A and B are shown apart, each in its own frame.
Chain A
Amino acid sequence: MSLLQIENLSLTIHGADILKQVNLSIAPGEIVAVTGESGSGKSMTALAVMQLLPNGAQTDGAIRLNETDLLGQTEDQMCAMRGAAIGMVFQEPMTALNPVKTIGDQVMETILIHKAMPRPQARTRAEEVLTRVGLPPDRFPLSRFPHELSGGQRQRVVIAMAIALRPKLLIADEPTTALDVTTQAQILDLLKGLVTEFGMGLLMITHDLAVVADMADRIVVMRHGEVVESGATSHLLRHMQHPYTRMLFEASGHQVTLPVPGQPKPLLEVTNVVRDYRLPRKGLFDTPGHHRAVDDVSFTLNRGERLGLVGESGCGKSTLTRAILGLEEVQGGDIRLDGQPVLSGHKANLAVRRKMQVVFQDPYGSFNPRHRVARLISEPFHLLETPPTGSERQDRIAEMLTAVGLSPDDMGKYIHEFSGGQRQRIAIARALIIRPELILFDEAVSALDVSVRAQILDLLVELCEAYDLTYLFISHDLSVVRTITDRVMVMRSGQIVEDGRTDAVFSDPQHQYTKDLINAAPTLPEIGKVVA
């Protein structure tokens, strides 16, 4: 008997089709993962179950929770069910909690709003569930405010709120996407434990197929608002029917083969670099404290080498990137490109800057929305002593657009006319246009859907062959770094804790932290490949 049964669910928002004839069911104690790329309608399916859809939503079909059709419930009846019969956990723990209320009040609110028990018992229950999710009151009193907790801890509070009344169904919408890999592993373990302990059904929405394969009893794959394939995890992984499912799994574990680098010759030399940030003064007359974001980092990047830099958020990898780019001054050590310092005095050294470019993470924030593509990608010409003009400039722009798989006709368009993947191609074109010696990829594929990510990785390999690229690839995603780099460095709390050939580091990590990272990362089963 199923706990949740979604039958032929269709959804339109202001007339636009969002979901088409979606069917899925969850039994008590079962974990069902709904997966797909952005725009597949997976989150809307979750919100439809909660009946928290945006204005203008029209639903059709049936969503049965224990034989009650949720679509037929009044708003008051739904309020009584939300939080009590169905709990929900969201993606962004940083913003999911009310900043002006204590965590105790927010957990107790779930209990009190449903008048489940009087206040003193509610308090005890809140302490119990917070302890259960790993926030015991002796270390995390109920009087804490959200801003006093880390992202992972906040997500635990959100989970505590969702399970305070032991709902029969728990919905988790990308619950770990915003978290670091080690925190992600802990939260996933917590969710798994709760399902077993309480016999809840868990509807898990995630784009991460490794998480899906790791967690789910059954998988539902969606695309463009439709379920393309569903089935028990082990069976589906072995016998994928739909080409889209196969494509998705292949793209997630996409492997590329880099061309063999030439003779090692030092290009970027980083020696004993230290970067301190001033902290706000504790008292009016105290000397301000320091936070050491980069702590005595040294490494050499050879010409033609593809070097990876991995680490969790706050480890200092972004700060190091900015220091290499000469955007921030360092407090100690030396950064040289081709033997010349990136900063001469307090000014950036233009002769050095000319030799490096960067590709950022956010395909939406990387471009001035008011400029056309031609102007956007030719911005680095500013670094040249004699920037090309007229037809030469046009030719260079056209050549670059072609090189990254776009058309020269695109140069007259504005950036909002492109998809996320196309924008990332334009970002690469901008980085390549002055033929820099070194390119920094700062989480350059992290915001992309897996199929687009696979295409961009292929593009990088093509460009490596055509232009002999040397790059530093900064990412939190181990699986990507594993395939796109020759050598990798692991960074933690401002220090490089491990540095070695990529295959060696991944197959035989030396440092305990590297081992933890690799163990925590959910792995994609090889099965998809076997079938394909």
Chain B
Amino acid sequence: MRSRRLFARGALILGLVFLYAPIVSLIVFSFNNSRLVTVWDSVHSPTLKWYGTLVHNGQILDAAWLSIRIALTAASCSVVLGTLAGFALARFSQFRGRLLLAGMTTAPIVMPEVITGLSLLLLFVALEQLIGWPRGLGAVTIALAHITFCMAYVTVVVQSRLTGFDESLEEAAMDLGARPATVFLRVTLPLILPAIASGWLLAFTLSWDDLVITQFVAGPGSSTLPMVIFSKVRFGVTPDVNALATILVLIVATGIVLSTIWMRYQQRRRERDEQLAAAANL
């Protein structure tokens, strides 16, 4: 028993080192003065000069702004569609197209991105030929593509949250005469709000991060941040990308810490409310 647990612990520690070492090295070398990124120039380092060049890099700033706008749109739209799909899958026992919907929401998650990207591009080209919309490729087609693969993730998050809840609260509201839409807005939605929030964040990150699908459906002149980064790093390491990576990791880490604190707070409040309710019942 003990040897097995020791082995598993060792693997866990090794695995965590494996997961974090590259990120740490990325951050450390962003302060390196040398252009040869990984050869530490101990005389002139640490330096912030790569951060300085970043601020003046118009291409990167434009791309980041485009990526943010697309990610906001994609996350917000995919949350609505994904919540509808997740709700339907979790709460409607049998309906026509159930299997189809279940299949179409899990397949995009594992589908190789080159296939999804190519098929979406060919769709947009065919649509433009048929109905004249969308006019050319750009931010609109990127957003449509992102909404599609993001909503699959949101669906899974919302659906698994709803399957975990028992339906008694919703049934109680129904028995008291609330209409289905009211039940959803007043009972179900508040219950799954944390799942919707994390679905939104996940969708934002996935959209912000996507390269392969975006490359297919982006026209000339609309480069997202991952596309700019990819064209820079394709032929080796460049120090300003390290600086950019450090900033992004910092933002994500702050976001995760804040959302964890917020969720802890919410949970504690809920527990307190439950205790109060229990005390009032006595």
A binds B: no
User: Which B residues fall within an 8 A CB radius of A?
Assistant: none
